[in-house]
Amino acid sequence: MSNATPEITLSARNLKRRFGNFQVIHDVSLELRRGEVLGLLGHNGAGKTTTLQMLTGCLLPDDAEQNGCGIDICGINLLHHPVQAKAHIGYLPENPPLYRELGVDDYLIFAARLRGMKSAAVAEALALAKQRCGLEDVGKRIIGTLSKGYQQRIGIAQAIIHRPAVIVLDEPTVGLDPTQIREIRSLIRELGDTHSVILSTHLLSEVESVCDRVEIMQHGKLIYGDTSAHMQQHGSVSGFIIVLGNPPPLSVLAGITGISHVEQISATQFRVLHTPDSNPKGTLLSMAEQQGWQLEQLTPLQATLEEVFVKITDAEKATSGAIK
């Protein structure tokens, strides 16, 4: 991706999509920045694939010329100038568009020529895509004889061979074994250094390991958007886990100023909650030393992404139910 690539590589506004009488996508708007990995997170059936199909020009939004609806790729309107805009997009659908009877090199060369690459540039592009996707040793192999992990790598290679500014990946690790998943996630993280990447997933571990920013989709709507780090803080609670080799009665811990609740997890481990505007850690440390409680561990509480995701989606579900 060259320095000429604009800061906002993808911009979508007020996207809607209906299948029959069922409204699948409701006024979805989002932006993707240069050098960013954006995770589109949601349960199966949330509308992620339909959204990505519209962003890549494979599916036309409803009312495309009305209500400010639009999709710009590197500043080019996808609806008005689809060929020029799509030249800046690399797309891997959930089911990779592979010709299983072709050799790896032959297929990637075919993909490059479909993208309009000149013959003189194809060889260099092929070598680079194979190197980045770990395909150097399988160029002469028939695609259908390779593992699911390698086929996924080939799918990514066809998406990046023309060096697009925007790479769109739909559930890129579905069906892979743990080793293959680690390899593909590492590749996505590397791609994020030089491209803009948007990937859909329902796997929270995917978001945690590769994404800079998260958009949560539910029932065809975007209900939350923030950085991965802030998302985790969204569900944070004020408290810590402590381990005491010689603990006092529970009532003594609960009586410390600022502590709102104490839960005994085991004979020596306790979950301590305190009010957000106070932190009794200093008092607790002093008392532990003075009273001989043998403090062995004090770890601040941090919500898991799973807990945060459930909290956000449940809150939206409750709000939607109240409106209905």
Q: Is the pLDDT of residue 1 over 70?
A: no
The β-bridge partners of 142 are 103
pTM for this model (two decimals): 0.77
Quickly state the pLDDT bin for 136 (edges 50, 70, 90): very high
Residue 233: predicted pLDDT:
63
| Residue 316 burial (CB count, 10 A) | 16
**pLDDT at residue 98 is higher than 60:** yes
Q: What is the pLDDT at residue 236?
A: 60
Domains of the chain in start order, with CATH, are 8-234 (3.40.50.300), 239-300 (3.30.70)
pLDDT of residue 322: 42
Percent of the chain predicted with pLDDT > 90: 63
- Under 8 Å CB-to-CB from 141, ≥6 apart: which residues? 103, 104
Residue 323 banded pLDDT, cuts 50, 70, 90: very low
Return phi, psi of residue 263, to 5°: -120, 125
Q: What percent of the chain has pLDDT over 70?
A: 92
Residue 324 has pLDDT above 60, yes or no: no
Q: What gap in Å lies between CA 45 and CA 48, rounded to an integer? A: 7
Lowest mean pLDDT among 10-24, 36-50, 232-246, 310-324: 310-324
pLDDT band at 320 (very low <50, low <70, confident <90, very high): low
Taking only the tens place, the pLDDT of each residue in 138-176 is 999 999 999 999 999 999 999 999 999 999 999 998 888
Is the pLDDT at 197 greater than 50? The verdict is yes
Q: Which residue has the higher pLDDT, 194 or 52?
A: 52
